[in-house]
């Protein structure tokens, strides 16, 4: 399990994110994050990869992206950031986030694991005893949040792509929908970091203390629209922990696919924002849409001419499916 990449995909739930430092002041070239368009009849869906956590004043919006946002009637995100949904997630954490009475993480760890645990605790303003009684999945999320906030790549949720677009959509009176609930995301984290996998927790904790390079690579690849760079990071992390990729990426991608396909008969223009890793490489949402024969076009968002959206062969479709995709 690698909190340096996969688990921060859910980090928006607890609100961890990147403030810039002098060594990471911003991109040197004009931004051009990847944006795709799917169309069928009167329906249009824009697909946009998100970085949930961004440094302050990080340049990413372009004329093409803003035009797609203005043209959209409905905005879709991974999970809700409303006060009601946040309240449900807090209740979930209170009810399921702590170890049974009398148990403590520090007593479960190896000497090396305990050393990393104590080091991570020094990076937070939290009461060490309160973290010590958390279940591994919650402790890892909390420590990871503060690691991102206090490390070289500190960030802020309110600067994140999801938050920025959703707030603008609500202000404009546009409809906002979500692909999953915060509770369902926590359920995935529980499966990815079970109580009895202390060895995995220690590996995550150790990687958490040296994870800045992964953030840097993903952020730079996303900002420049380089999908291959993001796909390479996904592949490297998946090789280190295929189980976590299956839980946090692959399963969710498959769950989202029918929802996105259903949007293609809505007769509306919809703007779908999901984590950038969900749209990069084999098995991604974008890859599955291409394989299933949807007409996908990557839009030009900056000075460069983007590559084709689909490079994989399509499956044989039924006649009604072919007609729909034209």
- Give per-residue pLDDT as tens, 173-212: 999 999 998 777 778 877 777 888 898 889 888 877 776 6
Is residue 38 in a domain? yes
Number of domains in the chain: 1
Is residue 241 in a domain? yes
pLDDT band at 322 (very low <50, low <70, confident <90, very high): very low
Rounded percentage of the chain residues whose pLDDT exceeds 70: 81
What local confidence, expressed as pLDDT, does residue 116 receive? 93
What local confidence, expressed as pLDDT, does residue 53 receive? 78
Is residue 2 in a domain? no
CA angle 24, 27, 33 (to 5 degrees): 125
Indicate whether 214 pLDDT > 70. Answer: yes
pLDDT band at 9 (very low <50, low <70, confident <90, very high): very low
pLDDT band at 10 (very low <50, low <70, confident <90, very high): very low
Range of the domain at 267: 7-325
What local confidence, expressed as pLDDT, does residue 248 receive? 86
Is residue 80 in a domain? yes
Give the tens place of pLDDT for each residue, 248-296: 899 999 999 999 999 999 999 999 999 999 999 999 999 999 999 999 9
Is residue 205 in a domain? yes
Q: Kindly state the tokens that stand for 20.
A: 């810039």
Is residue 260 in a domain? yes
Task: Locate the DSSP E strands across the chain.
Answer: 17-18, 35-40, 43-50, 74-77, 155, 175-178, 269-275, 296-298
Is residue 50 in a domain? yes
Is residue 20 in a domain? yes
pLDDT band at 225 (very low <50, low <70, confident <90, very high): very high
270, 174 contact by CB (below 8 A): no
């Amino acid at each position: 399990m690698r909190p340096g990449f996969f688990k921060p995909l859910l980090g928006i739930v607890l609100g961890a994110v990147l403030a810039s430092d002098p060594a990471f002041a911003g991109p040197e070239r004009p931004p051009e994050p990847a944006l795709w368009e799917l169309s069928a009849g009167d329906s249009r869906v824009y697909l946009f990869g998100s970085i949930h956590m961004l440094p302050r004043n990080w340049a990413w919006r372009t004329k093409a992206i803003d035009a797609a946002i203005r043209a959209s009637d409905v905005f879709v995100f991974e999970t809700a950031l409303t006060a009601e949904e946040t309240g449900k997630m807090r209740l979930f954490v209170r009810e399921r986030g702590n170890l049974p009475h009398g148990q403590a993480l520090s007593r479960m760890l190896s000497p090396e694991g305990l050393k990393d645990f104590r080091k991570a605790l020094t990076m937070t303003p939290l009461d060490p005893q309160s973290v010590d009684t958390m279940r591994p999945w919650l402790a890892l999320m909390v420590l990871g949040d503060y690691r991102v906030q206090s490390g070289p790549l500190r960030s802020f949720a309110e600067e994140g792509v999801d938050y920025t677009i959703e707030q603008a959509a609500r202000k404009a009176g546009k409809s906002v929908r979500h692909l999953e609930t915060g509770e369902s995301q926590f359920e995935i984290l529980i499966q990815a970091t079970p109580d009895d996998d202390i060895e995995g927790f220690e590996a995550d904790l150790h990687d958490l203390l040296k994870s800045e390079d992964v953030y840097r690579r993903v952020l730079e690849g996303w900002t420049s629209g380089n999908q291959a760079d993001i796909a390479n990071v996904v592949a490297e992390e998946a090789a280190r922990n295929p189980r976590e990729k299956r839980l946090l990426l692959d399963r969710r991608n498959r769950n989202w696919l029918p929802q996105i396909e259903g949007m293609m008969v809505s007769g509306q223009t919809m703007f779908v924002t999901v984590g950038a890793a969900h749209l990069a490489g084999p098995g991604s949402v974008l890859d599955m849409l291409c394989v299933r024969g949807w007409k996908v076009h990557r839009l030009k968002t900056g000075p460069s001419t983007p590559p084709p959206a689909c490079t994989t062969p399509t499956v044989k479709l039924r006649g009604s499916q072919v007609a729909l995709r034209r």
